[in-house]
Amino acid sequence: MTHALELVHNADRVDDINKFDRTDDLTPATVDTQRLLEIDKVSLQYRTAKNIVQATQQVSFDVYGADRFVLLGPSGCGKSTLLKAIAGFVQPVSGEIRLDSALVDRPGPDRVVVFQEFDQLAPWKTVRQNVTFPLLVSGRIKRREADEIALDVLAKVGLAKFAEAYPHTLSGGMKQRVAIARALAMRPKILLMDEPFAALDALTRQRMQEELLALWEEVRFTLLFVTHSIEEALVVGNRILLLSPHPGRVRAELNSHQFGLRHRGSAEFQMAAQRIHRLLFEPGA
């Protein structure tokens, strides 16, 4: 809990470091808040051993720059498949996904995914190497520069001390922080998070939400966040897309920018949560 506060307090110190020679630091000078991602009547299917499952049907929505856009719905609403489609791992059967007006048809480093599973970190690389790996693979920068960026983002998520540790020595929350740091280091156009905190215990999850919001305040990335927790959606997101299950269709799109962690438990927060609950579970409402 003290951690997010530290991040904010240390912000000027981090800026001092950045002044030296880095034009490539993480904080964009201006955040483009134009329309960034277009999901246009996208239908998705996946194949199981026996049959073809319709994951989403004609789903459309737009994400704007610096959004913290949340996909919320019960299991079976196709939110994770939708995220995989945006990441380029799954091809839509109909409809189009466009990022910065370019058609998405394959995975790419402009859309970095943070997964729920802890095994997304390569066990054969240290924390620092895990962060620098995608930077080096893309061939954009040199090793020294990549190391600098890695140490910078690791400091931002509070793991500077663990740069040389191997992933198996870290706790679940720390592994997720490394994954987030790695994603941020890539400076993707959009950060895709697939229930990143679902496998964490409740206290760690709350702290990670807090830290994510603090990071967003500092770096202003565009975030697409998948969750099945109404409370998490309200806290993390500024806009929420509600999906109904079997097949996934858009039920509503709501604002939630007014809620933060400290509003948890307030009357408005409860009302918003109840409204979402009603929208999701009472089809006629």
Residues within the interface to other proteins (CB under 8 A): 87, 89, 107-109, 111-113, 115, 117, 119-120, 122-124, 133-134, 137-138, 166-169, 186
Helix (H, G, I), strand (E, B) or coil at 116: coil
- State which amino acid sits at residue 250: V
Query: Please, which residue, 83 or 272, has the CB nearer to other proteins?
Result: 83
Which residue lies nearer to other proteins by CB, 61 or 166?
Answer: 166
Least distance (Å) from other proteins to the CB of residue 143?
Answer: 15
Q: What is the full DSSP assignment across 78-108?
A: SHHHHHHHHHTSS--SEEEEEETTEEP-S--
Nearer to other proteins, 45 or 80 (CB): 80
- Kindly tell me which of 71 and 280 has the beta carbon lying closer to other proteins: 71
Residue 94 CA to residue 128 CA, distance in Å, equals 40
Alpha carbons within 13 angstroms on the beta-carbon side of residue 222 total 22
Smallest gap, in angstroms, from Cβ of residue 32 to other proteins?
23
**Cβ at position 86, least distance to other proteins in Å:** 12
Q: Which of 234, 210, 262 lies closest to 6 in space, CA to CA? A: 210
Residue 178, classified by CB atoms within 10 Å of its CB into exposed (0-12), middle (13-18) or buried (19+), is: buried
* Nearer to other proteins (CB atom), residue 5 or residue 122: 122
If the CB atoms of residues 169 and 255 are measured against other proteins, the closer one turns out to be: 169
CB of 34 to other proteins, least distance (A): 24
How far apart, in whole angstroms, are the C-alpha atoms of residue 101 and residue 257? 26
- Report whether 69 contacts 237 (CB < 8 A): yes
Smallest distance, Å, CB 120 to other proteins?
Answer: 5
- The distance of closest approach from Cβ of residue 91 to other proteins in the complex, given in angstroms and rounded to an integer, is 13
Query: Rounded CA gap, 113 and 210, in Å?
Result: 20
The C-alpha atoms of residue 181 and residue 178 are separated, in whole angstroms, by 5
